[in-house]
Amino acid sequence: MEDAVSSSHIFSGRIISLQVDEVRLPSGRLTHRETVIHPGAVAVVALEGDKILLERQYRHTAKRVIWEIPAGTIEKGEAPEDCARRELTEETGYSADKMEQVFSFYVAPGYSTEIIHLFLARGLKKSSKRLDDDEEIDSMFVPLSKAVEMVRDNEIEDAKTAIGILFLDRFMGKAKG
């Protein structure tokens, strides 16, 4: 266990903030830990028959268009399931009759507090997209077998998307039932 000796909040942005802590290691040595503070997010594996709903959008950090599953940041006071439903509708124009939380995982626990809550959405119904002003997203259904190939061939590079697809592929019998 590490004990915090001091903490400095050095940056606040629209979504993240950065904190630097001085910590005492069990050995007694002092060191620093940089932590990206993130409110948490959701990712949605939306399933229609044997097809998964994927998105393509330009990601500035990657400097290219990336394949992803619908996802987004949890707003203050928002429950993860409510966020998953909101993001699915906003980004794809689909709503879901059933939204089941599958599991949660840290994105990068070595430096970030971000936890993603993965959901499985079924019973999709077309509604209308409500993209944020800074979003341009195309969505399409892809056969699960093709999506698995896209992960294997590194065409899908986004971790939450690969996790969602591989989870769905591995546990497809449960997802259909």
- Which residues does residue 83 pair with via DSSP β-bridges, in sequence order? none
Residue 109 amino acid letter: P
**Of the candidates 116, 95, 128, 130, the residue with the CA atom closest to the CA atom of residue 163:** 116
CA angle 70, 45, 155 (to 5 degrees): 75
Active-site residue among 34, 75, 136, 155? 136
136 is catalytic: yes
Please tell me the distance from the alpha carbon of residue 140 to that of residue 130, in angstroms, as a whole number: 16
- CA-only gyration radius of the chain, Å: 18
Query: Mind telling me the catalytic residues?
Result: 136
